[in-house]
C-alpha cells in the first residue's frame, strides 16, 4: 500500500510577493503581465479570486473585474529559488519526488522512517517547516495513490491538509463529483452530465466498454478512477511529452502572410529548444495553436517524425482556412515519445551519429 503526499503551494507566486512586500498583504494582487501590453495573469491571491480573477486570464479583463487589483511583474529567478528550498525540505523525508511544477509535487513516503512512518505526520511537519522557514503556506493531500492525493490537496485549501485513509477510499470516491477527476475538463464534464453522470457512483453504472466507446482511451481511465484505482508510481524522472514555444502579440496580427512570418520566428526558437534536449526522445507529431482576438483558441496537429517548417506552415494554413480572423497569440510545438519509457531495445538510430538531437530537419526560412 503506497503512502502518497501531494503538496501544492497556495497562490505560489503571489504568496512569495506578499511575503517580500508586506504592503501587498490583504489586497487583491496578481502576478502577470501589464494590461497595457496584453499581459496574462500567472496567478493571483484569494482576495483577487473573490472578484472572479483567475490564472491565464488577460490582465486587462482581470482589472475590469477587480479595479483595485495590484498587478506585480513576475520574478522567475526568485520563484525558482523558493521552489528549490521547498524541494530541499522534501528531500529530508524522501528522494521519491515527482515535481509537477515549481509549486507542486508528489512525494512517495511509503518507506520513510520519519514521524514513525506516518504520511499524515510527515505532511504536517513539511507544511509547518515551509511556513516557518519560507513564510508561505502549502496545502497537502495524503492518500494511497496519486489520483486521490491530488484531489485531497485541494479539499481544504488554502493552508490545509486532507487525508484519505485506505479504509475511506470507497466511501470517498463514491460521492466524488466527476468534475474533480483530473483530465475532466469543461467539454468532458458536459458530456458526462448529458449522460446523467454527476458523481463517480453514477460513472460506475457504465462498463469499461461503454466508456471506451464514448471517451476512447480516457474511458478506461475513467472506469478505474471511479473505483479509486490508480497504479501510477511517483516518478523522480519525469520526461517530456511535448516541447513548444508561443508568443502573445502586443497588437493582433492579421493576414496569413503575417501569420507565416511570425511562425518562422517561433520555429527558430523551437529548434533552439529541441537542440538542447537529449537523444532519448523521438518526435512523433507537430502542432500549432492560435488564439483569436476574442480569446477563443484553435489548434491543428498531425503525426510527423521530421517536423519541417513546411509542416507547421501547412497546419497554420488549416487554421486560417477554418477561421481567418486576427490572432493575439501563436504557438508551435512537437509531440515527443520517450524511448526509454516505451521500453524495449532501440531498433534504429534516430539521427546520424555525429548529431544525435531531437531537433527538426531545418529548411530555409
Point out the annotated binding site for Mg(2+): 8, 103
CA distances from 43 to 9, 29, 342 (A): 12, 9, 35
CA distances from 341 to 80, 240, 336, 348, 357 (A): 27, 11, 11, 16, 18
104 catalytic? Reply is yes
Report the SS3 class of residue 177. Answer: strand
Burial grade of 108 (CB within 10 A; 0-12, 13-18, 19 or more)? buried
Burial grade of 132 (CB within 10 A; 0-12, 13-18, 19 or more)? exposed
Backbone angles phi, psi at 48, to 5 degrees: -75, -35
Do the beta carbons of residue 158 and residue 115 sit within 8 Å? no
Nearest to 225 by CA among 173, 189, 270, 280: 173
Phi/psi region, residue 231 (left: phi>0; alpha: psi -120 to 50; beta: rest), is alpha
Report the SS3 class of residue 355. Answer: coil
Q: Which residues are annotated as a binding site?
A: 8, 103
Q: Which of 17, 47, 98, 104 is catalytic?
A: 104
Instruction: Give the C-alpha separation, 27 to 11, whole Å.
Output: 14
CA distances from 166 to 114, 124, 219 (A): 20, 19, 24
Helix axes of 76-91 and 12-20: crossing angle, nearest 10 degrees: 100
DSSP, residue by residue, 216-234: THHHHHHHHHTTT---PPP
Do the beta carbons of residue 325 and residue 232 sit within 8 Å? no
**Residues with catalytic function:** 104
Amino acid at each position: 500500500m503506497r503512502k502518497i503526499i501531494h503538496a501544492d503551494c497556495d497562490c505560489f507566486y503571489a504568496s512569495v510577493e506578499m511575503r517580500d512586500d508586506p504592503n501587498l498583504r490583504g489586497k487583491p494582487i496578481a502576478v502577470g503581465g501589464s494590461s497595457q501590453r496584453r499581459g496574462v495573469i500567472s496567478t493571483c491571491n484569494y482576495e483577487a479570486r473573490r472578484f472572479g480573477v483567475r490564472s491565464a486570464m488577460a490582465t486587462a479583463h482581470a482589472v475590469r473585474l477587480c479595479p483595485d487589483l495590484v498587478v506585480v511583474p513576475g520574478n522567475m529567478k526568485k520563484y525558482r529559488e523558493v521552489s528549490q528550498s521547498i524541494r530541499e525540505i522534501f528531500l529530508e523525508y524522501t528522494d521519491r519526488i515527482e515535481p509537477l511544477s515549481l509549486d507542486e509535487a508528489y512525494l512517495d513516503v511509503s518507506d520513510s522512517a520519519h514521524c514513525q512512518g506516518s504520511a499524515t505526520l510527515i505532511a504536517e511537519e513539511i507544511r509547518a517547516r515551509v511556513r516557518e522557514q519560507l513564510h508561505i503556506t502549502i496545502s497537502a493531500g495524503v492518500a494511497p495513490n496519486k489520483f486521490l492525493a491530488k484531489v485531497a490537496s485541494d479539499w481544504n485549501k488554502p493552508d490545509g491538509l486532507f487525508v484519505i485513509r485506505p479504509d475511506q477510499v470507497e466511501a470517498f470516491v463514491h460521492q466524488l463529483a466527476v468534475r474533480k477527476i483530473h483530465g475532466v475538463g469543461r467539454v468532458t464534464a458536459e458530456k458526462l452530465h448529458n449522460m446523467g453522470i454527476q458523481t463517480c457512483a453514477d460513472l460506475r453504472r457504465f462498463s469499461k466498454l461503454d466508456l471506451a466507446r464514448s471517451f476512447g482511451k480516457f474511458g478506461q481511465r475513467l472506469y478505474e478512477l471511479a473505483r479509486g484505482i490508480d497504479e501510477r508510481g511517483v516518478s523522480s524522472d519525469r520526461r517530456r511529452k511535448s516541447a513548444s514555444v508561443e508568443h502573445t502579440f502586443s497588437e493582433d496580427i492579421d493576414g496569413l502572410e503575417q501569420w507565416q512570418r511570425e511562425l518562422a520566428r517561433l520555429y527558430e526558437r523551437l529548434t533552439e529548444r529541441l537542440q538542447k534536449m537529449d537523444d532519448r526522445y523521438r518526435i512523433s507529431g507537430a502542432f500549432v495553436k492560435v488564439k483569436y482576438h476574442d480569446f477563443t483558441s484553435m489548434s491543428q496537429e498531425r503525426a510527423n517524425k521530421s517536423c519541417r517548417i513546411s509542416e507547421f506552415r501547412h497546419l497554420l494554413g488549416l487554421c486560417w482556412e477554418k477561421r481567418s480572423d486576427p490572432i493575439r497569440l501563436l504557438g508551435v510545438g512537437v509531440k515527443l515519445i520517450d524511448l526509454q519509457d516505451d521500453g524495449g531495445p532501440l531498433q534504429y538510430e534516430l539521427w546520424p551519429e555525429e548529431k544525435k538531437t531531437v531537433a527538426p530537419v531545418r529548411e530555409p526560412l
